[in-house]
Structure 1
Amino acid sequence: MNEEKTILARARRGELAAFEQLVAMYEKRVFAVALRSCGSPEDAADIVQEAFLRAWRAMDSFRGDSGFSTWLFRITMNLCVDFARRKNAAPQTQPLVGEDESEREIPDSAPTPEERLENSELGRELAAALAEVSEDHRRIVLLRDVSGLSYTEIAEVLEISEGTVKSRLSRARLALRSVLLSRGNILAGASSKESRGGEEA
C-alpha cells in the first residue's frame, strides 16, 4: 500500500510512467466490471480506456479523500451506466462466476480456463438472472462479487452508507435467487446460502 501511495503521488505530479503503473495494477479489475456490465469485450475495452483517460486528466484534482481504487471504480460505474443508457444495451450478457479475474488478458481472443468455465450451465444461468435484476442490484453485485470491493469501498463508490450496502447486497442476492426460482433452476438454493453467508466483510 505504501508503494501504491508513492506511485500515486508521482502520478499526481504528472508522471505518466507512474500513472501507467496504476493502470497495470487496476486495468483487469476495471475490465471485469465493465465486461459484466456491458457484455461486450470490445465495448468493455472502450470503457476501460475512457475510465483511465478521465482519471489521468483529473489526477491533479484527485484529493485522496477516498482511495484511488474507489475513485476509479466510481468513474467506471458511471461510464457503465452511461453506456447502458446510450446504447439501451442489456447490461449483463457475460456470466457471473467466481473466477480469478487477474488472469484475464484485455482483450484476449483465446479462450482461457476461466472463460471455458463461464460457458458452463451455472455461468449461463447466473448471467441470465443478473440481467433481470435492477440496476442498483446489478451494480452492487458487480462491485462486491466481481471486483471484490469491501463494504467500505462500495459505500464510497456508490456514495451510500455501509448499512445500505449490506442491505442492498442482501436484497440483490435474494432477487437473484427469486429469478433462478422463477426459471425453475435448482441453483437457487445455493444462491440463498450465498446471500446468507456473504454478509461477512
Structure 2
Amino acid sequence: MTEQELVERARKGDESAFEVLVTDNEKRIYNLCRRLTGNPEDAAELTQEAFLNAWRGLGRFQGESSFSTWLYRLASNACIDFLRKEKRRQNLSMTVSLDDEEEARQVELPDERYTPERELERTEVRQAVAAGLERLTPEHRQVLVMREINGLSYAEIGAVLGLEEGTVKSRIARARNALRKVLTERGNFFGELSSRK
C-alpha cells in the first residue's frame, strides 16, 4: 500500500493505517528530534508530539508534499518551539550528539584501518562541532542538521520549512559562517565545514 493510500485510510479513521505511517517514519523523526535537541528523552517526547499533531491534523493535510515531508516539518517545528522555550528558561544544557546509536556501536568495535590518534582526532572534531552547534540559534542549527547531518537537499529543506530554495541556501551559508566563527574563536577551526553544494 502506498503512503498516499495509507494517509487516505488514516484520514477516514483507520488507526492501523496510521500505525504503519508511524512505523515507517518514527526512526527518522526521532533522529531529527534527537539531533536538534541533543537529548534522547526530549527527542522521544517531541517525536510523540509530532505524531500526535499529525494524527490530529490529518484533515488539514493537503497532500502538496509527501506525508513524510509534512511530518518532518511538524517535528522540526515542535523542536524549534521546544528549543525557544528552553532557551528562555536557561536551565537546560543543550548538547548535540552527532552520533546515532548505530554509529556509536561501530565506534566501540576495533577498526584496524585507523590509529588511536586518528580516532581521537575525529572524536575531538565531533565534540568541537557539537559544542559549536550548541551556540548557534535554533534556526541555524536546524538547517545545518538537515543539510549536513541528515543530507537533505535544498529543495527538501525548503519543503519542510516552507521556504524558497534561495532562502534556504542563504540561511545555510549564514549558519555555516556562524559555526565557522564559533569554531575559530575556540581555536577549533579545521577547514571547510562542507564541500556539498
Provide, for residues 83-132 of structure 1, a one-character-per-residue CA deviation record: whole Å limited to 9, x for no partner.
Answer: 123233668412336x6x8x58xxxxxx6336999x92222111001111
SS at match of 2:171: helix
- How far apart are the structure 1 equivalents of 2:163 and 2:20? 30
User: How far is the alpha carbon of 1:49 from its aligned partner?
Assistant: 0.5
Residue 108 of structure 1: aligned partner = none
Match of 2:171 among 153, 168, 184: 168
- How far apart are the structure 1 equivalents of 2:153 and 2:30? 18
Match of 2:138 among 135, 139, 164: 135
Q: Is 1:13–1:60's contact at 8 Å kept on the other side of the alignment? A: no
Aligned ranges for residues 186-201 of structure 1 at < 5 Å? 186-187=189-190, 189-191=191-193, 194=194, 197-199=195-197
Match of 1:182 among 185, 190, 193: 185
Match of 1:113 among 106, 122, 132: 106
Tell whether 2:143 aligns with 1:144: no
Provide, for residues 142-183 of structure 1, a one-character-per-residue CA deviation record: whole Å limited to 9, x for no partner.
Answer: 222233332222112222110111121122122212211111
Q: CA RMSD in A?
A: 2.6
- How far apart are the structure 2 equivalents of 1:49 and 1:156? 22
- Give identity over the alignment, percent: 44
Q: Residues 91 and 114 (structure 1 numbering): CA distance in 2 closer, same or farther, change over 3 Å?
A: farther
Provide, for residues 45-66 of structure 1, a one-character-per-residue CA deviation record: whole Å limited to 9, x for no partner.
Answer: 0000111011011112211122
Largest Rg, 1 or 2:
2
Aligned length: 183
TM-score, normalised on structure 2? Answer: 0.80
Q: Residues 133 and 86 (structure 1 numbering): CA distance in 2 closer, same or farther, change over 3 Å?
A: closer
- How far apart are the structure 2 equivalents of 1:51 and 1:137? 21
Q: Residues 91 and 82 (structure 1 numbering): CA distance in 2 closer, same or farther, change over 3 Å?
A: farther
Q: Is 1:51–1:76's contact at 8 Å kept on the other side of the alignment? A: yes
Provide, for residues 26-54 of structure 1, a one-character-per-residue CA deviation record: whole Å limited to 9, x for no partner.
Answer: 11111112112222111110000111011
Q: Is 2:96–2:134's contact at 8 Å kept on the other side of the alignment? A: no
Residue type of the partner of 2:25?
Y
Instruction: Name structure 1 gaps, 5 residues minimum.
Output: 105-110
Residue type of the partner of 1:168?
R
Match of 1:94 among 82, 93, 96: 96
Q: Is 1:38–1:91's contact at 8 Å kept on the other side of the alignment? A: no
Residue 38 of structure 2: aligned partner = 39
- How far apart are the structure 1 equivalents of 2:35 and 2:181? 20
Q: Is 1:39–1:91's contact at 8 Å kept on the other side of the alignment? A: no
- How far apart are the structure 2 equivalents of 1:144 and 1:91? 24
